[in-house]
Structures are given as structure tokens and as C-alpha cells.
Amino acid sequence: MTEDYLTDDEQWEAVKRWIVENGLWVVAGIVLGVVGLFGYRYVDNSRNDRALRASLQFSEMTDALEHNDLSKSRNLAEGLIKDYPRSPYADQAELTLARLAVDAGEPKNAIAPLTQVMNNSKDSELKRIARLRLARVQIAVAQPDEAIKTLAEDTPGAFAALYHEVRGDAFYAKNDSKSALTEYKAALAGGDAGGVDSSLVQLKIADLTAPSAPPTAMVPAIVPSNKVKP
């Protein structure tokens, strides 16, 4: 290397010339690196702070539900959807609004939030839960054909037995006993492992097959608590 043949003074002069020629770029690189590091930390801390605030608001919402403070629950749910629309808590808030609507005897108002979760949630399981609940709501508002269509537009996976049961409820609402019976039997074949209540499905089948009386099977609760099965 040429530098090996330079004297100490010559090497020092070369270093100084390099600093003069390139020092600005070195300093700029260091500054950019520091700014980038602090910027990343700021963004990361900001995200963590938002996640914490969303979590606390979600806890408040569930606590209000447990204490039957419906007005507070609704306000907190709407706030979660508005302030943290991309968080998983927004999906739970939509389901909460749907539940509150049904509990208030206004099932039609549950259609929009359930549709939102069904179409836009990033959680495939939650999307199927919303789809099942939407179908139940559609049956409750005398739209059994819409319920059948809703359930047809998806691959149920592990929810197959529940899909069969709710389809059976839809056919029952259409007075199509034969199709309802077929769906209930398919649901029963999945057993409790498929999420259905086998004893309830057996009662529905018994009602439909009773020789001396018209069917009296009852449609199950439209939108159950978030803490129980779909």
C-alpha cells in the first residue's frame, strides 16, 4: 500500500485532507443514523402507548358490560372503533355493539357491525363467528333466504357443524322441514366437538319428526355473549 511508504507527518496530512474532503458526509451520516434511531424508538413507543390505551379502554368496556352499564359500554365501544380502527379491539367493539342492539330488541341495528367484522376482520375465526351471528340476526328479522346466502359465501372449516345448525334454523323459518331436518342431522354428526349443543339439536330433530304435532322447535339466541361459543 502507498501509505506504508509515507512518513508519519505525511500520513497525518493525508488523514487531515480526507477529513476535510469527506468530513461533512461522515457527520451527516452519523446525524442521520442518530435521528433514525430516535425516530424508530419514538414510533415504537408511540405504538406501544396506543396499544396500551386501547387495551385499557377495552377492559373498561367489558367491565361496563359485566355491570350492565349499557350506555357506557356503547360509548366505549364506539370510541374504540373511532380511535383504534386497525386494532383487534375494534372487532370486539363491533361485536359488542351488535350484542347491545339485539339485547335492546333492535336486531336490525346489529347487521352493520356484524357485517363489518365479517368482511374486514384480519382474524379468520372472528370473521366466521360474525357470519354465524349475522345469519342468526337475519333469521330473527324474517330474512331466512339472506341467512342461507350469508352462510353459503364461506368455507366453514371447524365451524361446519354450527353452519349446518343455523342453516337448519333458516330452513325451519321458511317452513322447509325436510331441508331443516337434513341440516340438523348434519350438525348433529359433528357432535359437541363441532361447537353445537347436541341435546338442543336432538330436540329440534324430535320436534320435526314428531308424528302427531306440528314442529315447535325454537331458534336459539341470536347473538350469544362473547364469552361463549358462536
Interval 177-197 mean pLDDT: 88
In-domain check, residue 217: yes
Q: Residue 205 is which amino acid?
A: I
In-domain check, residue 72: yes
Number of domains in the chain: 2
Whether residue 140 is found in the same domain as residue 216: yes
Residue 43: its pLDDT value, please? 42
Interval 142-158 mean pLDDT: 93
Summary count for the chain: helices (H), strands (E): 9, 0
Burial class (CB in 10 A: 0-12, 13-18, 19+), 35: exposed
In-domain check, residue 189: yes
Range of the structural domain that residue 177 is part of: 123-230
Task: Specify whether the backbone of 101 is left (phi greater than 0), alpha (psi in -120 to 50) or beta.
Answer: alpha
Residue 155: its pLDDT value, please? 84
Count of residues for the chain? 230
In-domain check, residue 207: yes
Query: Among 66, 81, 106, where does a domain finish?
Result: 106
Residue 55: its pLDDT value, please? 86
Whether residue 200 is found in the same domain as residue 97: no
Interval 33-42 mean pLDDT: 51
Range with the poorest average pLDDT among 18-22, 56-60, 169-173, 175-179:
18-22
